[in-house]
A and B are shown apart, each in its own frame.
Chain A
């Protein structure tokens, strides 16, 4: 079965550094997402992306965050200046469309900000 792949699986960074989390969505999917899950807390929506632009974003997704689809396969999340509270598991997800379609999640990138 096709799957969403994410790299790296773990990322350790110093506070204030920039990080880029990478994702390869399923090839025929048109909608892409980032969610995060702080340890022991609920999964939270960050951003959705369609047709090369952000379609929706949450309050968490401030100007320190950006997303990009630099080519036909990759989808990235950049955090410009990481904070301690950015430490979380970041999940990329994709779906074929928005109607009655489930999200397929990647296995996540565990980000630790020291």
Chain B
């Protein structure tokens, strides 16, 4: 089975840093994705990790440890527009298709 855990909600101040953790136990693994989802909108891609280590992309960074089944998304210099849900998703490496299993999402509230 697939199990992906992330905190339900986090609050941070504008300009600060927030780290969203994700742990997973899945029957297969072929990459971990982070998506941002504003309320009522579609998920939009933020980052992808398939090898251990840190991937940096502007204000957003994502880390993966496959041996620990662990990832985090780091958001720096928080802006009000970063208030959204952040979804951790694992691709299970099936032979065809790109099936993603999503966690429940972490709602981040950025306060002034």
Q: Do A and B bind each other?
A: yes
Interface residues, chain A, with chain B CB atoms under 8 Å away: 31, 33, 35, 41-45, 48, 50, 55-56, 91, 95, 98, 100-108
CB < 8 Å neighbour of B97 from A44, A50, A105: A50
B100 A103 Cβ-Cβ under 8 A: yes
Report A63 CB to chain B, min CB distance, Å: 20
Given A31-B98, A43-B87, A105-B44, 4 more contacts at CB 8 Å? A45-B99, A56-B96, A100-B48, A105-B43
Stretch at the interface among B58-66, B70-78, B102-110: B102-110
**Which residue on chain A has the smallest CB distance to residue B42?**
A105
B33 A43 Cβ-Cβ under 8 A: no
- B101 interfacial contact with A, CB 8 Å: yes
A102 B48 Cβ-Cβ under 8 A: yes
A-B contact pairs, 16 of them (CB 8 A): A31-B98, A42-B87, A42-B102, A42-B105, A43-B89, A55-B96, A56-B94, A56-B96, A56-B99, A91-B43, A98-B97, A100-B48, A101-B98, A103-B33, A103-B98, A105-B43
B42 A91 Cβ-Cβ under 8 A: yes
A-B interface, 8 closest residue pairs, ranked by CB to CB distance from nearest? A48-B97, A55-B96, A105-B42, A55-B97, A43-B102, A102-B45, A56-B97, A98-B98
- CB neighbours (8 Å) of A50 from chain B are 96-97
Instruction: Please report the C-alpha to C-alpha distance between residue A63 and residue B100 in the assembled complex, in whole angstroms.
Output: 22
- CB neighbours (8 Å) of B48 from chain A are 100, 102
A103 B42 Cβ-Cβ under 8 A: no
B25-53 residues with Cβ-Cβ distance < 8 A to A are 31, 33, 41-45, 48, 50
Give the most central of B41, B45, B48, B100: most A CB within 10 Å. B100
Report A74 CB to chain B, min CB distance, Å: 18
Report B20 CB to chain A, min CB distance, Å: 15
CB < 8 Å neighbour of A44 from B41, B44, B102, B105: B102
Report B112 CB to chain A, min CB distance, Å: 26
- CB neighbours (8 Å) of B101 from chain A are 45
A107 B102 Cβ-Cβ under 8 A: no
- CB neighbours (8 Å) of B45 from chain A are 102-104
**Which residue on chain A has the smallest CB distance to residue B102?**
A43
